[in-house]
Structure 1
Amino acid sequence: MNRPSPDKPASHRISLLATLQQAHFRVATLMMLAVGFALSLAALVALRTAADQNLQLVARSIAYTTEAAVVFRDTIAIQESLGLIARQESLASAQIVGVQGILLGRYIRPSDSLADAVGDRIVALLLPQPTVAPVMYQGRRIAEVRLRGDGAGFVGFIFMGLAGMLVCLALGAVAVRQLSRRIQRDILQPVQALTAVTYAARFDRATSARAPASRIAEFHQLGEDFNALLMEIEVYQTQLHQENKSLSHLANHDSLTGLPNRSYFRRRLTRALQDIQTTGGGLAVLYLDNDHFKSINDRYGHAVGDALLVEVADRVRAQVRENDVVARLGGDEFAILLAPLHNVEDAARIADKIISSMAEPLETRPQDHIVPSLSIGIAIYPMHGQTAEQLLRAADRAMYRVKSQHRGQRHIFNHQTDGSDSLHPPEKREVL
């Protein structure tokens, strides 16, 4: 059975697993980026404060160390002390300026790399003003120290922060993957199983399928409810099938004898003729009528008449093959379809067996013994007819020939002796 095409092509639809994976990845990425940015910002602020305090200490140390040299204007000592401390503390630049604005000493770190240039730019952004410390002598300001820190530490910190965020992103991706696997196991697998059961029930009418148990309570309860619904549908379908089967049997079978009725026999005969016309072969139609049935029914009552019909039906059915069809056409008349039939003698032999099976009396009361008797007319395809109506009419005429001459016998239709409609009384002109 073809499934109805959805409103939107399946290739344009995203699965639940992909949706959850994307949502988790986005949330995890944004969260880690936000946390990383916040931590990096806090670390930069802390680093800026620490660097500023460190530069203040270095500036005061330089002021204290060069105090005597500044007093005596010993520029060589000032330069040596300034360069020594600047190199030890990794300063980008340092200078000592007198109160009149005279430059007393200066140190500039050699800068010949991109990292130094980037570091200086970062320091300029974080610490735009140089760190200043006064050089005091006898409570009087005689000069001041001006410093700028090296940005290499800032650059290293930034690269370490970026590396840390990348590591966090990688760990987050692994965590999202593990979470997706767990979601697939705990959520998607029950949903997929329930979907498969739903499709099977909808498109394949497979109501025997059941949703498996789930670790999640809500999915487990949903599966249990769905299974209960499928069980009710299965029970309902079974009952409906039984009712349809019973109705079909009632529509195609005689309620008294359980044999197929006239309409069923006509359909089977028509189908058998179609098959034979394709595959070749022959078949026979036997028309059976109970002898003296009306007198038995009038003398012993309808109950005995019904018992006689049931007994005759059982005996007739016992003498034919499994694939042959025995039907009650109505009243005390029966018909038999013998298919396939290899020769006429087989039909005559079966008719003789049926007649012989009627020799056993039917005991209704201890003092009454009713012996069934049948008159049988036989029509052979294709000699006596090409259609179901022709064969039944021929078999009926052959049967009436027996009843009019020798009851309790069988007779094969003969065109010369049985072909005239004058053989039939008005009430038996038309069999079907």
Structure 2
Amino acid sequence: MTAPSDPAMPTLRTVLARVHMRLILFAVLMAGATLLITGVVVIRGYAERNLSLIAQTVAYTVEPALVFDDMQAARDGIATVAASESVRAVEVRDVRNRLLVEWRRPDSGVMAAIGRGGDLFAPSPALAAVRRGQDVVGHVRVFGDAGGLGRYILAGLLAALTCLALTVIATQMLARRLQRDVTEPLARIAEVAHAVRADRQFDRRVPASDILEVDQLGRDFNALLDELDDWHAGLLSENRMLEKQATRDALTGLGNRVMFEQVLPVAIARADAQGSAFAAVYIDVNRFKQVNDRHGHDAGDAMLIVIAARLRAVLRPGDQAFRLGGDEFALILAPDITREDVAILIRRLLAGMEQPIMLPSGESTVASLSVGSALYPDDSADARDLLRHADAAMYAAKTGRTGPHDRRNP
């Protein structure tokens, strides 16, 4: 017996959707990180070259101011050059490394904070010598900020988030298509397999799928179900045949002793439940052995077949006839029957036996029956005692001691 599925186990759709999500997120993150790092390296190199040019320009601009010791003119010149560039600070020192002029960007806000604190991303300070002819009169140091890199990083992050959002949407669309094309067909196959296993619904079939492999799986599964259906139908037919052989008399087609013993308890239970009565009737064929000895077994079989047919002819709906073996027969007469009804049925049965029976040899004979009956629960409420009562009544009829419920065809 298959163990029940663990409700905590993930479904195929969940597993595949999770794998797709992880793969796509990994790919997007790797691509985004690669582009971001590459862009930072390129922009940082560009910024360093730009700072070097700015440092040379500042050195050229402040050279007259240093010569004439006009620091305000130097400061104004620096502001003119550096204000429009990505410059955080400019320092001008003499040949003894004494600070002569310092300029810092007065900007505020997020980009300024990034520019002041982003030393990790900011380009290296650029140095340039201030020359008067061939003599060096000072040095200029220009510090760049990370404002440009910060804007680039923010733009990259925004683009990455946009890509992630699009990835989630694409993954959901892929998951829905995956569910429609793969998991739902597989779920239908599992549903049909469960119906066949649990409820023996061999007529169920798997519908076609739009995916070749899944459709082929469904076709093969349906072919297997066709074979199982044929096998099941054959098995049922064989079982019915075996059951018929086990509970039916092969010669007369009546129920046999096994079936009689199965039907009797059911009749008792039904009578008890409904508070009604039923009758058990025993029948014995008189002088059957003489017919067999004189005319052969074929004649005896023909005689039994005719007797069985005449038994069926007098039965009412719900009554049942049985051949218990040899020349012994039994009847179970349906509930709501009275003793008078039993007597009427027995008279009809005996009257039907008055017509001669043709034997295979061309001769004819008349069947003589000894009949005994017992009424449940009037004669007995016990199954064994009820049958003994009917058997005793039949024996009395056979020996000529007929009672009010016993009949014998003379």
Q: Residue 339 of structure 1: which of 334, 342, 366 is its match?
A: 334
1:110 aligns with 2:106: yes
Tell me what 2:161 maps to.
166
**Shift in alpha-carbon separation, 1:11–1:396, aligned structure 2, 3 A:** closer
Q: Residue 32 of structure 1: which of 18, 28, 47 is its match?
A: 28
Q: Residue 301 of structure 1: which of 283, 296, 299 is its match?
A: 296
Tell me what 2:179 maps to.
184
In structure 2, what is the Cα distance between the partners aligned to 1:19 and 1:275? 58
In structure 2, what is the Cα distance between the partners aligned to 1:131 and 1:369? 138
Q: Which amino acid aligns with 1:396?
A: D
Tell me what 1:353 maps to.
348
Unaligned regions of 5+ residues in structure 1, if any?
419-432
Tell me what 1:239 maps to.
234
In structure 2, what is the Cα distance between the partners aligned to 1:37 and 1:334? 96
1:20 aligns with 2:3: no
**Shift in alpha-carbon separation, 1:95–1:398, aligned structure 2, 3 A:** closer
> Where do 1:74-93 residues align within 5 Å?
74-93=70-89
8 A Cα contact 2:122 2:145, kept in partner = no
> Where do 1:273-312 residues align within 5 Å?
273-312=268-307
> Where do 1:269-418 residues align within 5 Å?
269-364=264-359, 368-405=363-400, 412-413=404-405
Superposed CA deviations along residues 153-183 of structure 1, whole A, max 9, x for unmatched, are 2222222222222112212222222222222
In structure 2, what is the Cα distance between the partners aligned to 1:130 and 1:393? 124
Q: Which amino acid aligns with 1:134?
A: A
**Shift in alpha-carbon separation, 1:35–1:318, aligned structure 2, 3 A:** same
CA deviation after TM superposition for structure 1 residue 35, in Å: 1.9
In structure 2, what is the Cα distance between the partners aligned to 1:388 and 1:112? 109
In structure 1, what is the Cα distance between the partners aligned to 2:229 and 2:262? 32
8 A Cα contact 1:378 1:412, kept in partner = no
Tell me what 2:42 maps to.
46
Q: Residue 264 of structure 1: which of 259, 262, 265 is its match?
A: 259
In structure 2, what is the Cα distance between the partners aligned to 1:80 and 1:255? 127
| SS of corresponding position for 1:359 | coil
> Where do 1:222-237 residues align within 5 Å?
222-237=217-232
CA deviation after TM superposition for structure 1 residue 70, in Å: 4.6
CA deviation after TM superposition for structure 1 residue 62, in Å: 3.0
Q: Which amino acid aligns with 2:105?
A: R
Q: TM-score, normalised by structure 1?
A: 0.83
In structure 1, what is the Cα distance between the partners aligned to 2:97 and 2:278? 136
**Shift in alpha-carbon separation, 1:394–1:88, aligned structure 2, 3 A:** closer
CA deviation after TM superposition for structure 1 residue 29, in Å: 2.3
In structure 1, what is the Cα distance between the partners aligned to 2:383 and 2:209? 62
Q: TM-score, normalised by structure 2?
A: 0.87
Q: Residue 211 of structure 1: which of 206, 214, 230 is its match?
A: 206
Q: Is 46-55 or 133-142 further displaced after alignment?
A: 133-142
CA deviation after TM superposition for structure 1 residue 347, in Å: 0.6
| SS of corresponding position for 2:83 | helix
8 A Cα contact 1:324 1:338, kept in partner = yes
> Where do 1:130-149 residues align within 5 Å?
130-138=125-133, 140-149=135-144
Q: Which amino acid aligns with 2:78?
A: L
How big is the alpha-carbon RMSD for the aligned residues of Structure 1 and Structure 2?
3.0
8 A Cα contact 1:78 1:104, kept in partner = no
Superposed CA deviations along residues 32-57 of structure 1, whole A, max 9, x for unmatched, are 22222211111111111111122223
Q: Which amino acid aligns with 1:186?
A: D
In structure 2, what is the Cα distance between the partners aligned to 1:411 and 1:397? 11
Superposed CA deviations along residues 258-302 of structure 1, whole A, max 9, x for unmatched, are 111123223322332233234322222222222333333333322
In the alignment of these two chains, the number of paired residues is 407
8 A Cα contact 2:304 2:327, kept in partner = yes
CA deviation after TM superposition for structure 1 residue 309, in Å: 1.0
**Shift in alpha-carbon separation, 1:52–1:335, aligned structure 2, 3 A:** same
1:254 aligns with 2:245: no
In structure 1, what is the Cα distance between the partners aligned to 2:269 and 2:99? 125
CA deviation after TM superposition for structure 1 residue 152, in Å: 2.4
Q: Which amino acid aligns with 1:16?
A: L
CA deviation after TM superposition for structure 1 residue 316, in Å: 1.0
In structure 2, what is the Cα distance between the partners aligned to 1:272 and 1:318? 21
